[in-house]
Chains A and B, each alone.
Chain A
């Protein structure tokens, strides 16, 4: 593990055309890292995330991705992700190829990926129309022991998984507290792991059952306080639900969105400047 700046970590590990998972389920979404990818003008990414959320709406609208693996693409409690929809419905700014799953399938695919298994097994019975669009990713098979029908879900192994967490120690062990989503599985499934953290400390002070990504799993740690905003970091700041509500208007049309990205992401040096621009720094 190496402690470095976020821009260095992205420049070193995220290249055009890679498959990249920025995980964190509602909580600890790595917004700062997503914005840095936009700032560096990286293109042709295959983005992977259970819930694309605002961060992928921003990245897709900014044109960094041409493929998306996901399982639920809305603005939670608010409505549509307008940029995601525009890319899928109209190909703006880039035609987006989608690889769609249910949450259960994505969770299983990461879990298999973490264990370096070729696929995961789920209890069958899900008769839906999605299966017809999952060629090469899901299939029905018979249990080799009982003959019962089960569903095989191909493992997901991102080139890079990026996550945000509360703390890292100087060796690069990363502590995640609160809602962890499928972050641990997505990290173990990846080729490289980049973690942004609220703080770097001498001692994590963690319980023995805590969720800790070991230093030998993590390629880079960058200290980025506020790095999950407008998502949140339990113990540090709350989810800015008012921003999630406001995003609906910002992202509704292409021009308003493009202006917002220019003013708040590409037009600022780093995440600190983004937060200051929004006036959310106490």
Chain B
């Protein structure tokens, strides 16, 4: 079966999720990856959204972080301050999903601004829960398409901490979580070097060369000796993902009407 790069990225991200893990999910591709995982290899994955929905099992992907579908299928819905204090800061989250406009080689992220903060060239949405997720989740999974603008030598603004300046700085500063453990791109997967914490290309998608990835990256990308190959999506993965996306598309286009009293 042929497949798109988006589908490959989603499948690759979903495979990073272990069955039974407690996962803090974001909207977009992370939601697709998590729901796909829970419907394939990880049926006991626990999905938590920052809107306070705990252990959700959405039939269709949410457009926003607080769609009714998430509440309707949750085991419980808790106040948002509890999600941040009891669940995240309390150390109950195994995996946090993040993305951003910019990333550096140590997995630090910018989702705030391009240009000076006071007079921005491009004002981005801002932090949301990312700084707390990046700090407290036991590990971080990042999904981003690789580009010179996005994968930069030096961030315009640091919104969330990855491995800081590397070489164990995160550990020295006694961060509760271990930081980014995998970065899924449209070329393959990067993982932190055990010593320096620098993100290194360790696995490639089919039909992609390491040289392609190096050329697309804004920092001098390091490549592991003999990088592995990510297996293409299986038929089950593709069928599950496509059915999910089709249901979602229909749901998001549905006409809403109100019966007023």
Check A234–B71 contact: CB distance below 8 A.
Answer: yes
A141-171 vs B, Cβ < 8 Å mask (1 yes, 0 no) = 0000000000000000000000000000000
Whole-angstrom CA separation of A111 from B80 in the bound complex: 10
Using a CB-CB cutoff of 8 Å, which residues 222-260 of chain A contact chain B? 225-226, 229-230, 232, 234, 236-245
Is there a chain B Cβ closer than 8 Å to A77's Cβ? yes
A243 cross-chain contacts in B, Cβ below 8 A: 256
Check A102–B131 contact: CB distance below 8 A.
Answer: yes
Whole-angstrom CA separation of A4 from B260 in the bound complex: 18
* Chain B residue with Cβ nearest A80: B125
A93 cross-chain contacts in B, Cβ below 8 A: none
Is there a chain B Cβ closer than 8 Å to A71's Cβ? yes
Given known contacts A27-B51, A102-B132, A127 and B66 CB-to-CB distance under 8 angstroms: no
Whole-angstrom CA separation of A59 from B120 in the bound complex: 21
Using a CB-CB cutoff of 8 Å, which residues 161-184 of chain A contact chain B? 178-182, 184
Given known contacts A26-B51, A104-B132, A242-B252, A70 and B261 CB-to-CB distance under 8 angstroms: no
Check B64–A129 contact: CB distance below 8 A.
Answer: no
Check A238–B256 contact: CB distance below 8 A.
Answer: yes
Is there a chain A Cβ closer than 8 Å to B77's Cβ? yes
Nearest-Cβ distance from residue B4 to partner chain A, whole angstroms: 19
Whole-angstrom CA separation of A217 from B38 in the bound complex: 43
Across the interface, A179 reaches (CB within 8 A) one of B66, B173, B254, namely B66
Check A26–B81 contact: CB distance below 8 A.
Answer: no
Check B89–A123 contact: CB distance below 8 A.
Answer: yes
Whole-angstrom CA separation of A235 from B135 in the bound complex: 36
Using a CB-CB cutoff of 8 Å, which residues 118-175 of chain B contact chain A? 120-132, 134-136, 157-161, 164, 173-175
Given known contacts A125-B173, A128-B158, A77 and B63 CB-to-CB distance under 8 angstroms: yes
Across the interface, A108 reaches (CB within 8 A) one of B63, B85, B255, namely B85
Using a CB-CB cutoff of 8 Å, which residues 39-69 of chain B contact chain A? 50-53, 62-68
| A26-B66, A129-B159 known, 7 other contacts, Cβ within 8 Å | A27-B68, A77-B27, A81-B125, A128-B158, A185-B79, A245-B252, A280-B256
A-B contact pairs, 25 of them (CB 8 A): A25-B51, A25-B52, A25-B80, A26-B66, A26-B67, A27-B51, A76-B65, A77-B64, A84-B123, A88-B123, A89-B123, A103-B129, A110-B81, A122-B89, A125-B135, A125-B161, A129-B117, A129-B157, A182-B81, A225-B258, A226-B260, A232-B68, A234-B68, A239-B64, A245-B252
Q: Which residues of B contact A (CB under 8 A)?
A: 27-28, 50-53, 62-68, 70-72, 77, 79-81, 83-85, 88-89, 112, 117, 120-132, 134-136, 157-161, 164, 173-176, 251-261
